[in-house]
Structure 1
Amino acid sequence: MTIGDQQLLKRMNRSVLLRLLRARPGLSRARLASESGLTKSTVSLLVRELLDEGWLSEAGTTVADGLGRPSTPLQINVGVRALMGVEIAVETVRLACVSLQGDVLHADTQALADSAPAGACAQVARMAAAAHGQLNALGLRLSSIGVCVPGAVDDCTGVVRFAPNLGWRNVSLLPALEEAFAAAGLPGVTVQLQNDADAAALGEYEFSGGESADPLIFVSCDVGVGAGVVLNDRLFTGAQGMAGEIGHTILQIDGPLCSCGRRGCAEAFFGSRALEREAPGAAHAAAFFGVLLQNLWVTFDPRAIVLGGKSCTGHRGLAQAAFEMVERHADAAGMPAPDLRIARYGELAPAVGAAALALHEYLRPLQPDARARRARAARDEYRIPSV
């Protein structure tokens, strides 16, 4: 076995232990060995490493195991590492710092001062630097920063292919963010970029507090409308990062004019700006919203559909009416509806999800991480095609 193989095997085994303890805090070393199938000596070695690195902590008291022998419960250590996530929305920038278990430690919301990419990066870096100071005051170490935007993102290159409501197209945002963070004096941690709805879906999935729902769909209804899909334990982003761009699926031919120039798009019915203009037509919007959720249900057969964004938090009747329509379709078909609920973190859902990006990859070492994907994309760009 090569050194690379040994390192990958160790990462896989560490991730198994971390995922077990995230789902079931309090397991002992012996129980971890039994549940994971790893040898007791391997578990003991890996637990010691994870304790030293601040991933795990031991309970102050021992308990008896199933055979009456004393054992020490283990749990994820929420007192050493923290994750930071930022959402660049159309009108707002939201930041959240969370623990490894998803507890919000610090949050900040500001109006977006400049929608140009350079201005947005500078504002995000200032907010992140201030938040880093808050984490330092709490004695916490920043492990990663995730950023999400309302548009299609190529996570191999860090390019925002298009974010129509920000007026961005083919913006190389990730390198600009990394430069802005470095200039602001932030530590050189992993920085990742993702679509806002995709990030929010990941936050709901990773920080579920129990067994994660898979598949899971997060529908974000803000100025724009988008969906994030977790499928088979990972984000489903599509070939070019454009999966889930449901805001411009056409629900009515020759319907109301959308910001994209077409008519009858989902955004034109229940995007937040559409609802502000057409408040008396909320019931009409809810009917179309229910149709969209019904179509997502039969397309992906998810265990859960989660709603978030300004349209849902500011118009609770809209979400409830849409949920009721899905349940009526389910009753008519004689099938159980998926779990239908509002985002656990409210308007912070995309920012919290962005914070979860690096954690999600760390716990799944067989998936190439963000830096590896970018390096591979850079190699492919300069590869001479065969003839």
Structure 2
Amino acid sequence: MKTIGDQQLLKRINRSVVLRLLRAQPGLSRARLASESGLTKSTVSGLVRELIDDRWLSEAGAAVNDGLGRPSTPLHINDRVRALVGVEIGVETMRVACVSLLGEVLHADAQPLASTEPARACAQAAAMCAQAWKQIAARGLELSGIGVGVPGAVDDATGIVLFAPNLGWRRLDLLPDLIEAFAAAGLPRVPVQLQNEADVAALGEYEFCKGEGEDPLIFVDCDVGVGAGIVLNDRLFTGAQGMAGEIGHTILQADGPLCSCGRRGCAEAFFGSRVLGRGAGDVKRAGQMLGVLLQNLWTAFDPRAIVIGGSTCEAHPEFLRSAIATVQSYADAAGMPPPAVRGARHGLLAPAVGAAALALHDYLRPMHPNTVTRRERSGARAKKPPGPVGAAALR
């Protein structure tokens, strides 16, 4: 029997329950946490004490009456100690964002992608993260995790980039190179996570919303490529091989315009940023075609929210308006209320902010498949020549 391991896992699960409740409902007391979670008061009291000692939680100064007995002290996520860093390795641009545990963007930077050669891309990401870390360290914050989003399918268990066509990557084991580059740049040893950029953007919208998360939620990234990230039943839906959400080559019109993949009528051929950027497409019509795609996603997944982001939305505001109007027209025809369709909260930073949310997402869900596998792989940094050690990793 793995009694000790089971007890440690149970404690991690219970800690995650407490943290998630307080993110959704800031200011809960210990008694209210026990009532909401179903845990015993003594268990909650012990967990809260540990989380305060680990500086995950903070207590408000004044006691309040929560209706469950004597006045008690409200608890909150402590966003003044830990910070997360997210990286988007885009097709043309690399972006980095430092984010608090509550999703506040503390620092952001963007640079043209210097090279699609993997080692050089990793070195650029590491250099930008090192500069970002200096910014948050100057505020007295600790780095607790790094997430990276890439424009391609990522195997959820191994972290291997299966296919990133716009970067020319296929079956690339990128995570070890990232870990080595971060260490060489002098970053603290913390967990490193890797996932598709649309997937992490979806996580950012889900994890850093106020109140209960919107579930199911779909993020559609309209950039050089077109992809989707799907949050379903409180976790990313990535498919059997990490290919879920690769909607850029969904056929929207038989015998439509020629796509870079060699087929005709793909979504990318209608509203990829390079198509609209060279004036080859009508923006309003492109938005209508996006609306067709969103209607198909709506009927397939019945989401609470569909979030649209990417450079096409930023460059062409009419594009998003046209897509929303198209979805509404389908809803009116069917006599059904559509899901909420809106733009990304952080605009072009959505994938970088979402990448920062990736480490937090895994930490708060210790029973999700592949979480341990990711941590073991990101822990490979301990076998590399050590760089300066800063904050403790997520525990």
Q: TM-score range by the shorter chain?
A: over 0.9
Contact kept, 8 Å, 2:156 with 2:238, in 1: the verdict is no
Q: How much has 1:369 moved relative to structure 2?
A: 4.6
Matches of 2:58 and 2:70, distance apart in 1: 20
Contact kept, 8 Å, 1:270 with 1:285, in 2: the verdict is yes
Q: Does structure 1 residue 52 correspond to structure 2 residue 53?
A: yes
Paired letter, 1:154:
D
Which residue is 1:382 aligned to? none
Which residue is 1:30 aligned to? 31
Which residue is 1:348 aligned to? 349
Normalised TM-score (structure 2): 0.92
Matches of 2:375 and 2:52, distance apart in 1: 31
Which residue is 1:224 aligned to? 225
Q: Does structure 1 residue 252 correspond to structure 2 residue 249?
A: no
Contact kept, 8 Å, 1:158 with 1:175, in 2: the verdict is no
Matches of 2:365 and 2:376, distance apart in 1: 19
Deviation by residue 1:76-129 (Cα, 9 ceiling, x = unmatched) = 000111111000001100000111110001111111111111110000000011
Q: How much has 1:254 moved relative to structure 2?
A: 2.4
Which residue is 1:281 aligned to? 282
Moved over 4 A (4+): 373-376
Deviation by residue 1:164-223 (Cα, 9 ceiling, x = unmatched) = 111111111111100101111111110010001000001000011112111100000000
Which residue is 2:266 aligned to? 265
Matches of 2:154 and 2:27, distance apart in 1: 38
Matches of 1:23 and 1:315, distance apart in 2: 34
Report the 3-state secondary structure (helix = DSSP H, G, I; strand = E; otherwise coil) of the residue aligned with 1:306. Answer: strand
Q: How much has 1:287 moved relative to structure 2?
A: 2.1
Normalised TM-score (structure 1): 0.94
Paired letter, 1:366:
M
Equivalence map 1:165-184=2 (5 Å): 165-184=166-185
Contact kept, 8 Å, 1:251 with 1:288, in 2: the verdict is yes
Answer with 277-286 or 193-202: which moved more: 277-286
Equivalence map 1:306-317=2 (5 Å): 306-317=307-318
Report the 3-state secondary structure (helix = DSSP H, G, I; strand = E; otherwise coil) of the residue aligned with 1:71. Answer: coil
Q: Does structure 1 residue 40 correspond to structure 2 residue 36?
A: no
Which residue is 1:3 aligned to? 4
Which residue is 2:234 aligned to? 233
Q: Does structure 1 residue 108 correspond to structure 2 residue 109?
A: yes
Contact kept, 8 Å, 2:199 with 2:230, in 1: the verdict is yes
Q: Does structure 1 residue 358 correspond to structure 2 residue 356?
A: no
Q: How much has 1:71 moved relative to structure 2?
A: 1.1
Paired letter, 2:300:
T
Paired letter, 1:271:
G
Matches of 2:115 and 2:128, distance apart in 1: 14
Paired letter, 2:175:
L
Which residue is 1:81 aligned to? 82
Matches of 1:301 and 1:370, distance apart in 2: 27
Matches of 1:374 and 1:84, distance apart in 2: 16
Report the 3-state secondary structure (helix = DSSP H, G, I; strand = E; otherwise coil) of the residue aligned with 2:49. Answer: helix
Which residue is 2:211 aligned to? 210
Which residue is 2:384 aligned to? none
Q: How much has 1:70 moved relative to structure 2?
A: 2.5
Q: How much has 1:375 moved relative to structure 2?
A: 5.9
Could you list the runs of 5+ residues in structure 1 that have no partner in the other structure? Answer: 377-387
Report the 3-state secondary structure (helix = DSSP H, G, I; strand = E; otherwise coil) of the residue aligned with 1:273. Answer: helix
Contact kept, 8 Å, 1:96 with 1:104, in 2: the verdict is yes
Contact kept, 8 Å, 1:155 with 1:374, in 2: the verdict is no
Matches of 2:61 and 2:94, distance apart in 1: 40
Deviation by residue 1:260-314 (Cα, 9 ceiling, x = unmatched) = 2222111111011111123662222122111111111101110100000011121
Which residue is 1:123 aligned to? 124
Q: How much has 1:61 moved relative to structure 2?
A: 1.8
Which residue is 2:393 aligned to? none
Contact kept, 8 Å, 1:192 with 1:358, in 2: the verdict is yes
Answer with 367-376 or 300-309: which moved more: 367-376
Q: How much has 1:253 moved relative to structure 2?
A: 2.2
Could you list the runs of 5+ residues in structure 2 that have no partner in the other structure? Answer: 378-395
Contact kept, 8 Å, 1:217 with 1:306, in 2: the verdict is yes
Matches of 1:3 and 1:275, distance apart in 2: 58
Deviation by residue 1:25-62 (Cα, 9 ceiling, x = unmatched) = 11111111111111111111100100011110011222
Report the 3-state secondary structure (helix = DSSP H, G, I; strand = E; otherwise coil) of the residue aligned with 1:70. Answer: coil
Between Structure 1 and Structure 2, how many residues are aligned? 376
Paired letter, 2:265:
G
Contact kept, 8 Å, 2:57 with 2:77, in 1: the verdict is yes
Matches of 1:284 and 1:369, distance apart in 2: 41
Matches of 1:352 and 1:333, distance apart in 2: 36
CA distance 1:369–1:359, shift in 2 (3 Å): farther
Q: How much has 1:371 moved relative to structure 2?
A: 4.5
Q: How much has 1:68 moved relative to structure 2?
A: 6.0
Report the 3-state secondary structure (helix = DSSP H, G, I; strand = E; otherwise coil) of the residue aligned with 2:282. Answer: helix
Contact kept, 8 Å, 1:200 with 1:354, in 2: the verdict is yes
Matches of 2:195 and 2:215, distance apart in 1: 20
Which residue is 2:201 aligned to? 200
Contact kept, 8 Å, 1:157 with 1:374, in 2: the verdict is no
Deviation by residue 1:331-350 (Cα, 9 ceiling, x = unmatched) = 11111100010001110000
Contact kept, 8 Å, 2:270 with 2:281, in 1: the verdict is no
Contact kept, 8 Å, 1:156 with 1:374, in 2: the verdict is no
Matches of 2:264 and 2:163, distance apart in 1: 19
| RMSD of Structure 2 on Structure 1 (CA) | 1.5
Report the 3-state secondary structure (helix = DSSP H, G, I; strand = E; otherwise coil) of the residue aligned with 2:143. Answer: strand
Matches of 2:79 and 2:266, distance apart in 1: 43
